[in-house]
Amino acid sequence: MELEVDRINTFYGLSHILFDVSLKIQKAEVVVLLGRNGAGKTTTLRSIMGLTPPKSGAITFRGEDITGLPPYKIARMGIGFVPEDRLIFPDLTVAANLDVGRRSRPNQGKKWTLERIYQLFPVLEKFSDRRGGTLSGGEQQMLTIARTLMGDPSFLLLDEPSEGLAPLMVRMLGETLDLIKVEGMTILLSEQNIKFASKHSDRAYIVDNGAIKYEGTMAQLERDEEVKKRYLAV
Ligand code: ATP
């Protein structure tokens, strides 16, 4: 098992947000965490990344207990986090933004070179000399993903990547995700957009009110009108 989240409980101050959340993700799987606004998707990803560590339960990455480790250590072990609020440096060029993401990871060859990143994201090569802040929302999303890849993660956490993007950008993003998957990347993404999730994920979990309410293959979920209606408002 690549990542195992075992009955975690996460709080913001005194507010109990996640209740015994458990997930299992195998190598090279793309798994989506679906749920409405405020259901607990971001909190789950932040818990895994160590940004909001759980109070109880355990998180295991490639057999190692990472519960409670600081985020930089978790990143070094190979987990990359792409937050919803595209954190690029607006005054740096696209190329400089990518350079910030470069990080040498011991015991591993450099998988993602600038050249390969530009192959995957031609738009970033075209705009490599432009300041990050001048890019469109979708391009900034691409830049955030690309920068995270420059850190050579083997596991990607993507928080609502399609949120707020124009349809064309959503399509491009989907194609990029498919290509990253082909490279053998394991991905956990959160989404409200079940259409996007269906196209690009193997399996789904549904979180509602901070608890996992459903687990199944994408094909099973697609057929389950009642579950979709109850938890996803579709
Ligand atoms: P969204 O699509 O809005 O990001 P989400 O499923 O990612 O939704 P979370 O952001 O994980 O949901 O939020 C889960 C719950 O935690 C919500 O009730 C939210 O109000 C609460 N919450 C989130 N951040 C904080 C915080 N910093 N302090 C207190 N409560 C918070």
Inter-residue long-range contacts of 193-200, CB under 8 Å, 24+ positions, other chains counted = 193/162, 193/163, 194/34, 194/221, 194/228, 194/232, 194/234, 196/162, 196/170, 197/32, 197/34, 198/222, 199/174, 200/30, 200/32, 200/174
| Nearest-atom index, ligand 1, CA of 36 | 6
Task: Give percent of the chain with pLDDT exceeding 90.
Answer: 76
Q: Is the CB of 46 within 6 Å of ligand 1?
A: no
For 32-81, how does the pLDDT look when each residue is reduced to its tens digit (9 = 90+)? 999 999 999 999 999 999 999 999 999 999 999 999 999 999 999 999 99
The two tokens of residue 128 are: 């490599």
What are the residue ranges spanned by the domains of the chain?
Answer: 3-232
Mutation to probe ligand 1, out of 43, 82, 85, 163 (largest number of atoms < 8 A from CB)? 43
Q: Is the CB of 147 within 6 Å of ligand 1?
A: no
Task: Name the strands in the sheet holding 203-208, side by side, starting at the edge strand that comes first in the sequence.
Answer: 79-82, 155-159, 186-191, 30-34, 203-208, 211-217
Q: Hey, how many other C-beta atoms are within 10 angstroms of the C-beta on 42?
A: 20
For 91-144, how does the pLDDT look when each residue is reduced to its tens digit (9 = 90+)? 999 999 998 877 655 545 567 888 889 998 999 999 999 999 999 988 999 999
59 with 47: CB under 8 angstroms?
A: yes
Q: Is the CB of 144 within 6 Å of ligand 1?
A: no
Instruction: Give pTM, 2 decimals.
Output: 0.93
Q: Is the CB of 42 within 6 Å of ligand 1?
A: yes
N residues, the chain: 234
- The pLDDT mean for the chain works out to 92
| Nearest-atom index, ligand 1, CA of 192 | 2
Nearest CA to ligand 1 atom 18: 38
3-232: CATH topology is Rossmann fold (3.40.50)
pLDDT at 158: 96
For 160-203, how does the pLDDT look when each residue is reduced to its tens digit (9 = 90+)? 999 888 898 899 899 999 999 998 999 999 999 899 999 999 99
**In the chain, which residue ranges form alpha helices assigned H by DSSP?**
41-49, 71-76, 94-101, 114-120, 122-126, 137-150, 167-182, 194-200, 218-223, 225-232
Q: Is the CB of 161 within 6 Å of ligand 1?
A: no
| Nearest-atom index, ligand 1, CA of 42 | 7
